């Protein structure tokens, strides 16, 4: 098992920091300098520049992402948060040897493609304590995992055995469902994030 020794700054945090630096360098956030020609009030100055109170137009949530659940840590999770990027739903069980052999690949894919791909583990057929231990043993804390012990999501997606994947495109459309070995999994991820 690969150890993750170094402390990593999440890529979104680095991107936000770089954007903040770029905006600061461009003078964004500073008071505007008034030119002598614009000393008097103008019609544009009389209009409000406050943000519009009208809500932004929301895209409808894809049908495959209209579910919610509870993470293994007890937090609420809304699958609508997966919309806009390709996603992998990984259905696993804590006692499954195949799932254990694929866990490292899931962690590696999250590390390498996490900025372009969503991964959601959906754990079933086990006790919450066993599911938590599985995640800890395989260092998968960076991937959200839902507790689906009753099997509602497994049934919804037609999962008939553990360690199956459901691939969704950025629009939430299912593009693949079934088993993949590590090589096939990596190949599909490369194709969907190219």
Average pLDDT, the chain: 77
**pLDDT tens digits for 39-91?**
444 334 344 344 445 555 566 777 888 899 999 999 999 999 998 999 999 99
Binning the chain into helix, strand and coil, the percentages to the nearest 5 are 40, 15, 45
Task: Assess whether pLDDT exceeds 90 at residue 108.
Answer: yes
**Residue 167 CB-density burial (10 A; 0-12 exposed, 13-18 middle, 19+ buried):** buried
Strands 174-178 and 76-78, sheet pairing = unpaired
**pLDDT tens digits for 159-178?**
989 999 999 999 899 999 99
Write down all domains in the chain, each with its CATH number in brackets: 63-193 (3.40.30.10)
3-class SS string, 86-102 = CEEEEEECCCCHHHHHH
Instruction: Measure the CA–CA gap between 84 and 169, rounded to whole angstroms.
Output: 8
Which of 132, 141, 154 shows the shortest CA–CA distance to 106? 141
Tell me the percentage of the chain whose pLDDT exceeds 70: 70
Q: Which two tokens stand for residue 120?
A: 């959601």
Place of tokens 């259905």: 91
Q: How far apart are the first and last CA of the chain?
A: 27
> Angle at which helices 128-137 and 97-113 pack, to 10 degrees?
60
Task: Assess whether pLDDT exceeds 70 at residue 132.
Answer: yes
- Reduced to 3 states (helix: H, G, I; strand: E, B; else coil), residue 76 is strand
Between the ranges 17-21, 34-38, 48-52, 129-133, where is the mean pLDDT highest? 129-133
């Amino acid at each position: 098992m690969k150890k993750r020794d170094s402390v990593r700054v999440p890529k979104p945090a680095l991107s936000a920091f770089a954007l903040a630096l770029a905006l600061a360098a461009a003078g964004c956030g500073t008071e505007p300098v008034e030119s002598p020609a614009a000393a008097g009030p103008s019609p544009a100055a009389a209009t409000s520049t406050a943000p519009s109170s009208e809500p932004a137009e929301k895209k409808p949530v894809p049908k495959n992402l209209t579910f919610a659940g509870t993470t293994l840590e007890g937090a609420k999770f809304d699958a609508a948060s997966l919309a806009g990027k390709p996603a992998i739903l990984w259905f696993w069980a804590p006692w499954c040897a195949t799932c254990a052999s694929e866990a490292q690949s899931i962690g590696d894919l999250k590390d390498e493609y996490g900025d372009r791909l969503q991964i959601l583990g959906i754990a079933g057929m086990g006790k919450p304590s066993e599911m938590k231990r599985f995640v800890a043993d395989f260092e998968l804390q960076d991937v959200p995992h839902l507790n689906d012990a009753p099997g509602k999501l497994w049934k919804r997606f037609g999962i008939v055995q553990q360690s199956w994947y459901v691939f969704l495109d950025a629009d939430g459309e299912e593009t693949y469902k079934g088993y993949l070995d590590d090589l096939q999994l990596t190949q599909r991820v490369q194709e969907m994030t190219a």
